[in-house]
Amino acid sequence: MPLDILPSVCPHDCPSTCSLEVERLDTHRIGRVRGAADQDYTAGVVCAKVARYAERHNHPDRLTVPLLRVGPKGQGMAAYKPISWNEALDRVAEKFIEAERRLGAETVWPYFYAGTMGLVQRDGINRLRHAKRYSGQLSTICVMLSDTGWVAGVGEKRGVDAREIAQSDLVVVWGGNPVSTQVNVMTHITRARKERGAPLVVVDPYRTPTALVADIHLMPRPGTDGALACAVMHELFRQGFADRDYLARYTDCPQELEAHLQSRPPEWAAAITGVPADRIRSFAELYGRTKRSYIRVGYGFSRSRNGSANLHAVSCLPAITGAWQYPGGGALYSNAGFYGLDKTMIEGLDVRDPKVRILDMSRIGPVLTGDRQDLGEGPPVTALLIQNTNPMVVCPEGLKVREGFMRDDLFTCVHEQFMTETAAMADVVLPATTFLEHDDIYLAGGHTYLQVARKVVEPLAEAKTNHFVICELAKRLGAEHPGFHMTEWELIDQMLKASNKPSADALAAERWHDCARSFEEGHFLNGFPQPGGRFRFKPDWKGMGPWHKGMPALPDHPHLIEEATAEHPFRLVAAPARTFLNSTFTETPGSRQREVRPTALLHPTDCERLGLAEGDRVRLGNRRGSVVIHAKPFDGLQPGVVIVEGIWPNGAFEEGQGINALIGADPGPPKGGACFHDSAVWVRPA
């Protein structure tokens, strides 16, 4: 590699975790970013938004110095004046100490998510939390519903190696949109299609870019995948595609399941899903006939109140046909659960006090507005430390989130790369490095490599790492832990050694370390990590979480979703945009140009009925709030469904409030989780 091209790893919240090659233009600026060609999962491919990362990294609006708010909240840069790092950190520490003195340590809430997926820069905030006994965070915003649904049947968060997709004879992408959200999956699917003639089936309520290139697109109403999966299983049994030897050996209650499915034929599912019965029957036949069938399970269809149940229902399919036994057969939701890393030092798990209350991050609106049920016996939250996330934009019940952040008695510190709408609510804003300016280690959900990355360029101006901020605050707050006295690299090395992995230096030299399991283990041929080694058609929902009421004993269509009604006749899916990543990249001109503006996709018959033409202003609303948006007639969805792509900043909407105003913050059953694709709304010309 020439000197000015350096290795790195994409830190974004995306299962692909691509191995990167980054052009370094000078000590601070980067040029093009490419995917590592000789890493067999990345295979030389990255998404367009990261290929253009220079736009974000070298952006003129990056934060360069610590800022103190001297004007009103929500006004952006004009409300701030620069201060020194020492002043900024001293002030934050003083405020936290003062808040703790008044109301106890639980009044402080460190809040984070996955702006970077690096384990040191992302999770180090927990070390400060635990050392100080600050309020805990229940991380429900993304994977809680899907993890729960997968673990219910399979038992652990792992599945068949995605590189095996190339050996499949049928690939099913269920409730995910990899062309937009993890492009590398498509590389492996393309191989199976070219080399083995494998058809691609996509199950999605609208014609996504992935559905557009599929051979078969099944288009259920949002929140009805459980019904679809049941009818497919009904047909698998009826058409003689059930592998009875496999079922007897590897599953918990096949006879009971078969009997239960008797009353779930395709006609039953057609009425619920809107997918014609003959389409369900022929998909079941294709799936049943093909032993090497691979289901790539997406996150999208878990973001409903019945999402865990629906994801579990889909994970049952390969257990019926015994597809798990074959190369290229089975399913993958995520492999993030199999790395076995000991994060005690990074997260300060050894000093965690289990008695400290834990607050649900998706419910930050209700929490900050003082919901007693959320706060329990504890004090209100009066101090926030935020890294790696943009809750003002990404969280449900957006109006409540805003109301909470506006509170006069709330002190907020946000460590950010940009003046996001969350940063603009802060009293103190600290400038953060990007992944190209700090060291970290990354695991992946979509593949099996462990990767470390050294910084590629020097930090911009006064930007500092998350690790720096956590350690400096710890010093001022009197928090004790050996992890506060280690460098990033030392923390990485310590974790690797504690986990019986190669050292940090060895890993850096190797670039990517494959942690893949054996074929037998990957395919659960030695049994599933469940009682008796058996896949569970009948999960222990009750044991999984407090909100298990209404969860079905066996796969079904549980009536838990926010159904369309006469008053709210549309079902809204707030899907991701191809060139944004959550709210990240909404600041880059390339992505803004492509996504144009917040848009509602509506069926042409709905548009006609409402008298809407392309580009007309339309108001979507429900009891939580309403937003004004531009309509676009689109025939790739069912009537009564509306799709809004992209977590646009609130400010991109006419009235300053974005799509998450319409999303509920009630915890998705059984364990919590945000239901971004499960809202009933009305639609009116604006």
- Residue ranges in contact with ligand MGD by CB under 6 A: 13-14, 113-116, 121, 141-142, 174-177, 180-182, 203-206, 208, 220, 222-223, 225, 298-301, 303-304, 387-390, 394, 415-418, 420, 432, 466, 573-578, 580-584, 647, 659-660, 676-677
Distance CA 647, CA 550 (A): 30
We find the least distance from the C-beta atom of residue 8 to ligand SF4, in angstroms, to be 10
Stretch that binds Mo ion, among 139-147, 332-340, 413-421, 674-682 (CB under 5 A): 139-147
Side chain identity, residue 661: A
Question: Given strand 30-35, what is the order of strands in its sheet?
Answer: 5-9, 19-24, 30-35
Question: For ligand SF4, which residue of 6, 22, 36, 50 counts as binding (CB under 6 A)?
Answer: 50
We find the least distance from the C-beta atom of residue 299 to Mo ion, in angstroms, to be 6
Contact of residue 451 among ligand SF4, ligand MGD, Mo ion, none (CB under 5-8 Å per partner type): none
Q: Measuring CA to CA, how many Å separate 488 from each of 361, 437, 639?
A: 26, 12, 52
Instruction: Sketch the per residue contact string, 216 through 255, with ligand SF4: x for CB under 6 A, - otherwise.
Output: ----------------------------------------
We find the least distance from the C-beta atom of residue 173 to Mo ion, in angstroms, to be 17
Distance CA 474, CA 356 (A): 19
Contact of residue 137 among ligand MGD, ligand SF4, Mo ion, none (CB under 5-8 Å per partner type): none
Binding residues for Mo ion, rule CB under 5 A, total 1
Q: Could you tell me the two tokens for 233?
A: 């299983």
Binding residues for ligand SF4, rule CB under 6 A, total 13
The residues near 514 (Cβ < 8 Å, ≥ 6 apart) are: 448, 449
Q: Are 349 and 482 in contact (CB under 8 A)?
A: no
Stretch that binds ligand SF4, among 179-187, 261-269, 543-551, 558-566 (CB under 6 A): 179-187
We find the least distance from the C-beta atom of residue 244 to ligand MGD, in angstroms, to be 29
Contact of residue 204 among ligand SF4, ligand MGD, Mo ion, none (CB under 5-8 Å per partner type): ligand MGD
Own/partner pairs, 496-505, CB within 8 angstroms, 24+ separation:
496/341, 496/441, 498/342, 498/344, 498/345, 499/339, 499/340, 499/341, 499/342, 501/341, 501/450, 504/441, 504/452
Question: For ligand SF4, which residue of 6, 8, 14, 34 counts as binding (CB under 6 A)?
Answer: 14
Distance CA 615, CA 186 (A): 32
Handedness of CA 242, 245, 250, 251 (dihedral sign): positive
| Distance separating the N- and C-terminal Cα atoms of the chain | 56
Beta pairing partners, 637: 206
The residues near 571 (Cβ < 8 Å, ≥ 6 apart) are: 221, 222, 223, 562, 564, 640, 641, 642, 678, 679, 680, 681
> Does the protein bind ligand SF4 through residue 46 (CB under 6 A)?
yes
Side chain identity, residue 67: L
> Does the protein bind ligand SF4 through residue 182 (CB under 6 A)?
yes
Contact of residue 50 among ligand MGD, ligand SF4, Mo ion, none (CB under 5-8 Å per partner type): ligand SF4
We find the least distance from the C-beta atom of residue 437 to ligand SF4, in angstroms, to be 17
Distance CA 522, CA 160 (A): 5
> Does the protein bind ligand SF4 through residue 17 (CB under 6 A)?
yes
Contact of residue 225 among ligand SF4, ligand MGD, Mo ion, none (CB under 5-8 Å per partner type): ligand MGD
> Does the protein bind ligand SF4 through residue 320 (CB under 6 A)?
no
Q: How many CB atoms lie within 10 A of CB 686?
A: 17
> Does the protein bind Mo ion through residue 142 (CB under 5 A)?
yes
We find the least distance from the C-beta atom of residue 629 to Mo ion, in angstroms, to be 23
Q: Are 258 and 238 in contact (CB under 8 A)?
A: no
Place of tokens 């006749």: 569
Stretch that binds Mo ion, among 140-148, 149-157, 367-375, 394-402 (CB under 5 A): 140-148
Closest to Mo ion by CB, 143 vs 211, is 143
Own/partner pairs, 581-584, CB within 8 angstroms, 24+ separation:
581/12, 581/13, 581/14, 581/49, 582/13, 582/390, 582/394, 582/647, 583/390, 583/393, 583/394, 583/420, 583/647, 583/648, 583/649, 584/12, 584/56, 584/115, 584/390
Stretch that binds Mo ion, among 77-85, 137-145, 603-611, 675-683 (CB under 5 A): 137-145
Stretch that binds ligand SF4, among 16-24, 130-138, 512-520, 523-531 (CB under 6 A): 16-24
Instruction: Sketch the per residue contact string, 560 through 599, with ligand SF4: x for CB under 6 A, - otherwise.
Output: ---------------------x------------------
> Does the protein bind ligand SF4 through residue 185 (CB under 6 A)?
no
> Does the protein bind ligand SF4 through residue 647 (CB under 6 A)?
no
Angle at 445 between CA 440 and CA 449, to 5 degrees: 60
Contact of residue 300 among Mo ion, ligand MGD, ligand SF4, none (CB under 5-8 Å per partner type): ligand MGD
Provide the binding-site residues for ligand SF4, judged by CB under 6 A. Answer: 10, 12, 14, 16-18, 46-47, 50, 182-184, 581
Provide the binding-site residues for Mo ion, judged by CB under 5 A. Answer: 142
